[in-house]
Amino acid sequence: MDKKQSVPIIAANWKMYKTLSETEQFITQIKPLIAKAKARVLVAVPFTSLKTAVDLAKDTNLIIGAQNMNDASEGAFTGEIAAKMLTDVGAKFVLIGHSERRQYFNESNAFINRKVKRALESNLQPLLCIGETLKERESGEMEDVLATQLSESLQDVETSSLKNVIIAYEPVWAIGTGISATADMAQQAHHFCREYLAQHWGAEVAGTMPLLYGGSVKPNTAAELLGQSDINGLLVGGASLDATSFAAIVNAG
């Protein structure tokens, strides 16, 4: 991806935080702080905040999305949410395969692959999360893990649809731990993903698919990460809960 021409993507993942009034307070507070940002700003809010966030984000540069969805189009799946319910309330994107979902809800690459396909056919942009655990990194398996997650999660996705997919490389050991990958480590993993995409789906897909880094990004680490040649944006958890700190990250882009 030609970084000189591409707009960075800065995405927030609020996880299981923020009531409606907190959602309203955040959006009201951040609006003026990011009004001149050149980044594309995505916020993945809890399901209960979606409608409110979409309404409040009208006429701003905030794009609202969800943190999860089911792979079925609808059905008897108590407690689950379908892609068309998300688009119906105005969500534009959805996180898929976040490591917390893989870890605590046993989501497999096959399930994640079905969700990616369902999101794409529902006009919802999938933000697919991949990343290795500390044990996998230390035993030299990082590249194998990333390759498997990419190939299985994107299996049989039409090449023409791949332009609508965003990938986030999020090393599991860096999520919510305060330990970010260094810019070099992140660049190295991103470069591997870029090459892997090129080998399997061709140079055009590899060149246009945005690759975000996620894992303990803070306002003081954002610019250096964004300066790396294969990093097209950031996915931010903890530091996205506070409007001032998230705005600082957005404005670093």
Nearer to ligand PEP, 205 or 241 (CB): 241
How does strand 62-66 pair with strand 40-44? parallel
Closest CB 175 distance from ligand PEP, rounded Å: 4
Active site residue 200: no
Please identify, using beta-carbon distances, which residue of 83 and 249 lies nearer to ligand PEP: 249
Residue 175 contacts ligand PEP per CB under 6 A: yes
Q: Which member of 46, 210, 233, 237 binds ligand PEP (CB under 6 A)? A: 237
Tell me if 236 contacts ligand PEP by CB under 6 A: yes
Q: What is the DSSP letter of 59?
A: T
Shortest reach from residue 166's CB to ligand PEP, in Å: 13
Pick the closer one to ligand PEP by CB: 11 or 124: 11
Nearest to 124 by CA among 98, 159, 87: 87
Measure the CA–CA gap between 33 and 208, rounded to whole angstroms. Answer: 29
3-state secondary structure of 14: coil
- # binding residues, ligand PEP (CB under 6 A): 14
If binding is defined by CB under 6 A, does position 217 make contact with ligand PEP? yes
Backbone dihedral angles phi then psi of residue 129, each to the nearest 5 degrees: -100, 135
Integer Cα distance of 177 and 160 in angstroms: 37
The residues, ordered by sequence, that sit 6+ positions from 107 with a Cβ below 8 Å of its Cβ are 97, 101
Answer yes or no: 22 catalytic.
no
User: Pick from 107, 136, 170, 230: which binds ligand PEP (CB under 6 A)?
Assistant: 170
Q: How many CB atoms lie within 10 A of CB 110?
A: 11
Q: Give the one residue of 10, 13, 86, 221 binding ligand PEP; rule: CB under 6 A.
A: 13
Interface residues with ligand PEP (CB under 6 A) are 13, 15, 170, 175-176, 214-217, 235-239
